[in-house]
């Protein structure tokens, strides 16, 4: 899929969502309806346990002995797959309505973020699995009054 090239001299809007507006690519309208994002891991069993802690639920389904799939919301899925040669390079972010409450729930399940990034009123809490795959959980937070 190709689209209009962005002028490299113009800065990107740091928070603007690519999905917040309809765009035309190659003469057709593009509307995202979902995502199925994968994370390669070295050891399926231990990784599955860690992602249960992160996501707060068992997988929605397991298509085979080396994959587990979590449905995060309607049309939004993340999965792990045992693939030692590709493990450790994933970078993803899950946008949530109330990141502070979500991070508290994750902490109750035994995981703490390894880093926190702040960008204006947006926070990203960074988690890394045993392979080094990064999953951020974040969103807009209330500004202090």
pLDDT digits 0-9 by tens, 56-115: 999 999 999 999 999 999 999 999 999 999 999 999 999 999 999 999 999 999 999 999
pLDDT at 24: 62
pLDDT at position 20 over 90: no
pLDDT at 144: 57
3-state secondary structure of 54: helix
Residue with the larger pLDDT of the pair 19 and 133: 133
Question: How far is it, in rounded angstroms, from Cα 1 to Cα 145?
Answer: 44
pLDDT at 143: 65
Burial class (CB in 10 A: 0-12, 13-18, 19+), 99: buried
Question: How far is it, in rounded angstroms, from Cα 123 to Cα 40?
Answer: 25
pLDDT at 10: 64
Question: How far is it, in rounded angstroms, from Cα 130 to Cα 80?
Answer: 13
Instruction: Specify the pTM.
Output: 0.79
């Amino acid at each position: 899929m190709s689209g209009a090239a962005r002028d490299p001299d113009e800065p990107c809007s740091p928070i603007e969502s690519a999905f917040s507006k309809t765009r035309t690519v190659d003469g057709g309208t593009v509307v995202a309806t979902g995502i199925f994002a994968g994370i390669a891991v070295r050891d399926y069993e231990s990784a599955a346990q860690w992602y249960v802690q992160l996501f707060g639920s068992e997988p929605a389904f397991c298509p085979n002995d080396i994959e587990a799939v979590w449905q995060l919301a309607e049309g939004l899925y993340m999965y792990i797959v045992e693939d030692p040669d590709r493990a450790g390079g994933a970078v993803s972010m899950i946008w949530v309505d109330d990141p502070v409450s979500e991070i508290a729930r994750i902490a109750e399940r035994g995981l703490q973020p390894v880093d926190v990034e702040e960008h204006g009123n947006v926070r990203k809490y960074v988690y890394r699995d045993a392979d080094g795959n990064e999953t951020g959980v974040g969103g807009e937070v209330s500004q202090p009054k």
